[in-house]
Structure 1
């Protein structure tokens, strides 16, 4: 969906500072926080059918930044190439906009979400055309729509928090905006010391997530062909709860108690490979985020706002994934990759990033999945009810699993692939899942 009209900005953006004094110190970032992979801002987009009080939102932001004060600071270089946060209370950037010709319903396309378009960037003007360190850790734009609806966009530095931490902040902001008591809500925990590297660092695993993809016998893996050739096109694939259940049932004979994520990740990975058609002997990877908050010993403190995840890596040849038994094969690999993530693996990852500051996954033949499901983004209420649309501002080559409004078991997979492969990906993902009458009738 293209936003044809220009967004009207009737006032200059303002810096919203904490309403009370906050600690003025330099915040250490863990190696999981400041790794090269995460040096960007995650741009969230929420569409609400109702209107909101923008002044109340701005005032509430000032108040909630007292607790979430690192978001009002500034990123900068520290020692040995690491980034730190100068907690200087400089403030978050807050922008207002007006789009009279746009309605909330235009972000929905039947039962699926509209595909992100480059024109959506006008919904977050403050995060444009600046280098990573020049953009404040938090940039917000609230845009009123002609239908009476509201769009909230928030760019949050990935170096400061992961999806769980971002959701925690957004819900805290919403509670303050609606004057709700915070008695039973968890306070943010900002100290990252629990994830400091060991001395000396000890890398105990191969960490294929940071290795270079290659063909068998390839003497120069650096020339492995990239699967992303040509202009990219976003593909939005909505799997209903019934679709997900069918995928789980397919895997059940080979994988006991297969989870929704395992079944769906395996299915999308396999369809992605088959649609791109890489060399059959090329080793392709599926990288996905695994929450480590309860996997490390001791567990991360409650309310931990930093990046509390590592990448799990499933790897296979394209031929194995494309085979008739590829779905079961892929699901078993996803399960095995997830089960590898324990305290030892996390500590080894932290130590690897201590020794290799420039460590970066090879994305030339890798699908990266980040799940925005089950972290509560679809329940965010800033005073206009639950959102009618939740998603990213733009579509990237990595894949997002997004919540589906009014279908708590449904998932929308959003990913960009070369234009020539877009239709094939959609066909591969949805083939055999549309005829759901038998499953749906059983559930009614």
Structure 2
């Protein structure tokens, strides 16, 4: 139940039923192999993007350009299925051209009112902005669902749900930019800058599988047999609220000073360390408890030979840093992140792929913070002809952490994660707590979270 004091979001009004958008011309009718990186159970969900554009987008031209984009990205118009009936271990895509779902709606809300609401988003309410396909199974949901919601003042909200088993963040960005490019002109897919590469066989497991390295980010241990608290299960049992903290370039530089001169680091490395430490401290975990940080690393240039340009499948693995709670500080955390990144090589990736051939292996989420970086994918640059988006982010946040771009601030990063309502203030305090100098991180809408105190 919603508290009466919580902001409300009006219902979407659908004047027409959603339609299926098929490729503009016949596409190959075949079965697409999915790699072991594609169909991990960890990835069996849809990546849900939300864009807010000031100028309206014409639905009919969007449908036309989408139809043309699906000629190249035709698996998104297909349907996922089990390779073997009643066996969830391997999935594939039936490239049958059945189509993507496209819904158009109206909402009695202005753009400014939406931004006020979005300052404290409610997951259940945000779901209104994406058409819900009722289906008995995840595999029965079309891989691509789109909703265009027209606001009262002419602004528009564009939401997309793209099946993560078919593509990763780089792949989704590639598809969205191809669609936007076709929307802006009469160009054909031959004129789109990068053509989609469909084959996933470059990431096939070796025969026989050869797990040659240690992979601490995975486990075969049943959750009930693990020692210590299961943080993931705790989080899932709580009422979660969204924390959104933006770090402008000046504050990122200040964080990096904790590592200089003995340690040079990237923005991702220092923010990942700082966020991990803040997350752990806010949850009050025991000092000797082992915690992990899992974060995605692009492998396209790690393989030998390098993967082809345009590969839009899941071309990443999760690097894993681990430490005891009492060991975590920004400097040490950065070193752990750097060491985890340095482990990712061609052999490491192939060892992961072979490890995943065992259907009992799963990503170890029991005491892990998972970070996905969206801030370097160019998602904020999407332009369908009326200018770049005023806002870009997830439809709603989850227990996984996202690093997002900030519109108009090239070097800023917005950190978004859902935390238990009982500890979110504590988490945001630690995120703002750089040192005793009084620097304060801002939330996404520029409001101070806390006045700093000496520590």
- Give, in angstroms, the shift of residue 158 of structure 1: 0.1
Give deviations 1:96-142, integer Å, cap 9, x for gaps: 00012x222345469x9654532011110234665311110000001
- Contact 2:24–2:68 at 8 Å: present in 1 too? yes
Among candidates 231, 236, 240, match of residue 232 of structure 1: 240
Structure 1 residue 71: deviation in Å? 0.2
Q: SS of the residue aligned with 2:202?
A: helix
Matched-pair contact (CA < 8 Å) for 1:283–1:317: yes
Alignment of 1:170 with 2:153, yes or no, is: no
Residue of structure 1 in register with 2:287 after alignment = 280
In the alignment, is the contact (CA less than 8 A) between 2:433 and 2:439 conserved in 1? no
Counterpart of 1:207 (choices 215, 229, 236) is: 215
Q: Assess, with a 3 A threshold, how the Cα gap between structure 1 residues 87 and 212 changes in structure 2: closer, same or farther.
A: closer
Question: Is 2:208 the partner of 1:197?
Answer: no
Give secondary structure in 2 for the equivalent of 1:337: helix
Name which of 341, 361, 364 aligns with 2:363: 361
Contact persistence 1:190–1:306 (CA under 8 A): yes
CA distance in 1, matches of 2:415, 2:242: 10
Query: Is residue 296 of structure 2 the alignment partner of residue 293 of structure 1?
Result: no
Give the equivalent residue in structure 1 for 2:273: 266
* Aligned partners of 2:196 and 2:312 also within 8 Å: yes
Q: Could you tell me the TM-score, scaled by structure 2's length?
A: 0.89
What CA deviation, in whole Å up to 9, does each residue of 1:145-169 have, x standing for no partner? 0111011000000000000000000
Residue 344 of structure 2 is aligned to residue 327 of structure 1? no
In structure 2, the residue matched to 1:419 is 421
Q: C-alpha separation between the residues in 2 aligned to 1:316 and 1:332?
A: 11
Matched residue of 1:121: which SS? helix
CA–CA distance in 1 between the matches of 2:71 and 2:28?
9
Q: Does 2:255 align with 1:242?
A: no
Give the secondary-structure state (helix, strand or coil) at the position aligned to 1:202. coil
Q: CA deviation at 1:223?
A: 5.7
What is the CA distance between 1:232 and its match in structure 2? 1.5
C-alpha distance in 2 between matches for 1:4 and 1:115: 9
Give the Cα–Cα distance (whole angstroms) in 2 for the partners of residues 319 and 309 of structure 1. Answer: 30
1:213/1:284 contact within 8 Å kept: no
SS at match of 2:356: helix
Q: Does the Cα contact within 8 Å between 2:178 and 2:192 map onto a contact in 1?
A: no
Question: In structure 2, what is the Cα distance between the partners aligned to 1:197 and 1:73?
Answer: 24
Q: RMSD in angstroms over aligned alpha carbons?
A: 2.3
1:202-222 deviations in Å (ceiling 9; x for gaps): 0012210013799xxxx9426
Contact in 1 for aligned 2:52/2:158 (Cα 8 Å): yes
| Cα separation, 2, equivalents of 1:251 and 1:120 | 39
CA distance in 2, matches of 1:428, 1:268: 9
What per-residue deviation string (whole Å, max 9, x for no partner) do you get for residues 245-304 of structure 1?
111222123323x10000100000001101111111110000000000001111111000
CA separation of 1:338 and 1:87: change in aligned 2, threshold 3 A = same
What secondary structure sits across from 1:154 in the alignment? strand
Match for 2:96 among 88, 97, 104? 88
> Unpaired segments of 5 or more residues in structure 2?
1-5, 441-455
Of 225-234 and 303-312, the range deviating more from structure 2? 225-234
Deviation at 1:384, TM superposition (A): 2.3
Query: Which position in structure 1 is the counterpart of 2:453?
Result: none
Paired with 1:196 and 1:188, the residues of 2 have a C-alpha distance of 19
In the alignment, structure 1 segments of 5+ residues that lack a partner are 438-444
1:60-81 deviation line (CA, Å, top 9, x unaligned): 1111100100000000000463
Q: Please tell me whether the aligned partners of residues 162 and 308 of structure 1 are also in contact (alpha carbons under 8 angstroms).
A: yes
What whole-Å deviation, never above 9, does each CA across 1:171-217 have from its counterpart, x for those lacking one? 10011111164636010001001000011100012210013799xxx
Instruction: Provide the aligned length of Structure 1 versus Structure 2.
Output: 426
Distance 2:77 2:56 in 1: 26
Matched-pair contact (CA < 8 Å) for 1:43–1:155: yes
**Correspondence for 1:442:** none
Where does residue 315 of structure 1 map in the other structure?
322
Corresponding residue for 1:441? none
Q: Per the alignment, do residues 127 and 223 of structure 1 end up closer, same or farther by CA in structure 2, a change over 3 Å counting?
A: farther
User: How far apart, CA to CA, are the structure 1 residues paired with 2:136 and 2:112?
Assistant: 31
TM-score of the aligned structures, taking structure 1 as reference length: 0.91
Change (3 A) 1:269 1:27: same
Q: Which residue does 2:451 correspond to in 1? A: none
Partner of 2:445: none
